[in-house]
């Protein structure tokens, strides 16, 4: 008769052999697919690392090590919270992974050598039955040198996504992103049929000055049939009934200051390089921020927490029309160019959502009244719930006095059907 100890040892051995094989084949699958294939044998679950609260996969420790993962904590008997992480020159095919700076979590103050850092993401051929349509990027931490004259790249840092169906179709500037994107997220469409096309995440530290560079980007591959897939045309997608949206680089340092090596404010930057009027937000943007319509909700209300986006009147609001025929707008850069200027579009937006006057909003106050010195809520009953962000290739600095054109932080709240 076998002893209890031998029986337990044999059971643990079988457990590890079976699940190492299973996880070695399936750890890269999406959450829903994973659960369908393994349940009820063992549910695949997300876990949070003990050190920095990042999201990992709960799996046997041996399976994590054998598939290139990093054991970042425990999540049960014989189970580990496994992180798939890479940096420059890394090639990863996990459905959930992280792209981090070379010395993460230590700051990278000097430019990289070589200055370009490329992370390659492949789609897993084992899950062709569940093709991938989108990549979601969450900027858990992200800080590069700030934009110069509203643009990244050239003489300053940049982050570019290459290999997506069409990076320009996202509505982001072709020169990429930079500055502070911590807390932001992006949805990038990819061709589900071209499974061999890699996605390249490229950081270029072109700025030779000292900056507190650091990034940790969570990457999720989203199947075409996933309920978590963002609607077409949505660069950002929020599913809560209420929340806050911010313009890209809203949290970046004002252009009239720079950081010293300790991260504190230093001397003013040369105004010929970074004028005080140069915006925090980027030039050449045209993207949508979408809000998932919750059950029994018929409208949405936008309220300004902070608003400084385009326009021509200091401390006042500007309004205009999206209709190209209506060129007499307080938000267009030229009265003969209806597509110029920096503004947000809230379709059918007004103070009550019923009396439709304008749908473009800009300036240093958010209001449906042109020239208002007070911000007021904007309500819309148009479906789907979406706000568009537009900027052209120039700075709106026609009024006197310095301004940072910081961007916006807008609170949204869905309105109950009544």
**Position 194 confidence tier, pLDDT thresholds 50, 70, 90:** confident
Per residue in 6-38, pLDDT tens? 444 444 444 444 444 444 433 333 333 333 333
Mention every residue, 6+ apart, whose C-beta is less than 8 A from residue 368: 319, 349, 350, 351, 357, 358, 361, 376, 378
Per residue in 37-90, pLDDT tens? 332 233 457 888 877 788 888 989 888 888 889 898 888 778 889 999 999 999
Q: Given this model, what pLDDT does residue 54 score?
A: 86
Percent of the chain clearing pLDDT 70 (strictly above): 74
Q: Cα(157)–Cα(249) distance, rounded to whole angstroms?
A: 13
Mention every residue, 6+ apart, whose C-beta is less than 8 A from residue 259: 210, 211, 212, 253, 265, 266
**Position 399 confidence tier, pLDDT thresholds 50, 70, 90:** very low
Residue 111 has pLDDT above 80, yes or no: yes
Lowest mean pLDDT among 4-13, 235-244, 314-323, 386-395: 4-13
Average pLDDT over the chain reads 79
Per residue in 40-49, pLDDT tens? 233 457 888 8
Mean pLDDT comparison of 82-86, 273-277, 279-283, highest-scoring range: 82-86
Residue 418 has pLDDT above 50, yes or no: yes
Q: Given this model, what pLDDT does residue 370 score?
A: 85
Residue 259 has pLDDT above 80, yes or no: no
Q: Given this model, what pLDDT does residue 258 score?
A: 39
Closest by Cα among 413, 339, 408, 409 to 380: 413
Any bridge partners for residue 244, and if so which?
Answer: 411
Q: Given this model, what pLDDT does residue 335 score?
A: 47
**Residue ranges of domains in the chain:** 17-83, 86-229, 241-267+291-418
Q: Given this model, what pLDDT does residue 129 score?
A: 73
Any bridge partners for residue 389, and if so which?
Answer: 287, 344
Q: pTM for the whole thing?
A: 0.82
CA 256 to chain centre: 25
Architecture of domain 86-229: Sandwich (2.60)
More confident residue, 153 or 340: 153
The torsion defined by the Cα of 362, 367, 373 and 375, in degrees rounded to 10, comes to -110
Angle among Cα 23, 26, 32 to the nearest 5 degrees reads 120
Q: Given this model, what pLDDT does residue 174 score?
A: 87
Lowest mean pLDDT among 29-43, 148-162, 268-282: 29-43
């Amino acid at each position: 008769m076998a002893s209890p100890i031998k029986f337990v040892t044999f059971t643990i051995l079988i457990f590890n052999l079976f699940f190492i094989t299973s996880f070695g084949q399936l750890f890269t699958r999406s959450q829903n697919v994973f659960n369908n294939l393994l349940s009820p044998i063992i549910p695949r679950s997300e876990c949070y690392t003990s050190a920095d609260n990042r999201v990992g996969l709960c799996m046997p420790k041996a399976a994590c090590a054998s598939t290139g993962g990093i054991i970042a904590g425990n999540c049960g008997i014989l189970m580990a919270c496994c992180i798939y992480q890479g940096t420059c020159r890394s090639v990863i095919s996990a459905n959930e992974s992280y792209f981090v700076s070379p010395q993460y979590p230590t700051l990278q103050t000097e430019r990289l050598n070589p200055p370009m850092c490329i992370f390659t993401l492949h789609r897993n051929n084992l899950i062709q039955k569940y093709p991938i349509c989108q990549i979601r990027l969450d900027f858990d931490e992200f800080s590069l040198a700030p934009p110069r004259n509203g643009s990244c790249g050239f003489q300053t840092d940049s982050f570019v996504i290459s290999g997506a169906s069409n990076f320009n179709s996202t509505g982001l500037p072709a020169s990429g992103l930079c500055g502070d994107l911590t807390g932001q997220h992006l949805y990038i469409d990819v061709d589900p049929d071209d499974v061999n096309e890699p996605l390249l995440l490229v950081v270029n530290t072109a700025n030779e000055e000292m900056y507190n560079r650091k990034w940790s980007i969570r990457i999720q591959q989203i199947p075409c049939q996933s309920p978590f897939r963002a609607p077409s045309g949505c660069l950002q997608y929020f599913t809560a009934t209420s929340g806050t949206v911010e313009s890209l680089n809203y949290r970046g340092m004002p252009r009239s200051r720079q950081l010293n090596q300790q991260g504190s404010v230093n001397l003013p930057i040369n105004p010929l390089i970074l004028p005080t009027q140069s915006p925090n937000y980027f030039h050449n943007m045209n993207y949508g921020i979408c809000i998932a319509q919750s059950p029994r909700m018929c409208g949405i209300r936008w309220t300004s927490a902070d608003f400084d986006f385009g326009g021509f009147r200091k401390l006042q609001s500007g309004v205009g029309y999206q209709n190209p025929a209506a060129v007499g707008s307080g938000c267009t850069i030229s009265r003969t160019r209806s597509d110029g200027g920096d503004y947000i579009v809230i379709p059918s937006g007004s103070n009550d959502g019923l009396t439709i006057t304008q749908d473009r909003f800009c300036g240093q106050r958010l209001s449906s009244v042109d020239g208002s010195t007070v911000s007021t809520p904007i309500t819309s009953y148009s479906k789907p719930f979406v706000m568009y962000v537009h900027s052209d290739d120039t700075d709106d600095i026609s009024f006197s006095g310095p301004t940072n054109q910081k961007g916006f932080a807008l609170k949204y709240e869905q309105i109950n059907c009544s």
